[in-house]
Amino acid sequence: MQIRGAGALVFGGASGLGAATARRLVAGGAAVTIADRDGAGAQALAQELDARAAVADVTDPAAVAAAVEAAAAVPGGLRIAVACAGVGTPAKLVGRDGPTPLETFARVIEVNLIGTVNCLRLAAAAMSGNDPDEEGERGVCVNTASVAAFDGQIGQVAYAASKGGVASLTLPAARELARVGVRVVTIAPGLFDTPMMAGLPEAARRSLGGTVPFPARLGRPAEYAELVAHVVANPMLNGEVIRLDGALRMAPR
């Protein structure tokens, strides 16, 4: 899939991994729509990049459908969709005051897993109506899991479950959408320098980065974005979950 001239939609695109992805795709010549529940942030970045903006909570079917429709209105239609929106609320199954309220876990699952499915189903439906390229490809969807899907730590039951769900849906989704020429790939980042890390003291950030075998630092959002660009360009990448973690394997805590 060629990035240049393609319509692209980035969910969670106002900050972090999503913002870096939007920048990379714009630099590659895509017509990018930045979708985020933070409408002001999406609009500000869109103005900076000469892109489009849409207000969309990934758990809202109508809002996501509207964002997809806007992104698909460009010449050639929506060809690239990247789902970066997510939450990382930590919670133990049993805390000092007893079992954690079920709603705490449900919200993480709703945003990270159900939200990803919502974006994927609507983007893929739009892509299925595109004219195919010379290899029969109509689009590519890139989802975001986490190494927590495989190495979940204490306090990450909901987060690990949600990201594990994203990893597990990748192959069946790719198999289903193969008939319409839409690829599905998931990236599982390790420790990245995103807004989720921004609240930590600098010493704690350095300490976390030092747990990565090599390079011994936090990942840069631009490195995630560069992998997205490669996934888009390489048609043999399909149905795969790619760890992007510097050989990190998370300890229990």
DSSP state of 192: B
Concerning whether 159 is annotated as a catalytic residue, the answer is yes
Beta-carbon neighbour count of residue 136 at 10 Å?
A: 10
DSSP state of 140: E
What is the gyration radius of the CA atoms in the chain, in angstroms?
Answer: 18
Beta-carbon neighbour count of residue 128 at 10 Å?
A: 14
Question: Which of 105, 159, 192, 224 is flagged as catalytic?
Answer: 159
Measured CA to CA, the distance from residue 116 to residue 88 in angstroms comes to 14
Angle in degrees, CA 243, 249, 252, rounded to 5: 130
DSSP state of 2: -
Measured CA to CA, the distance from residue 58 to residue 119 in angstroms comes to 7
Tokens describing residue 28: 């590659």
Catalytically active residues are 159
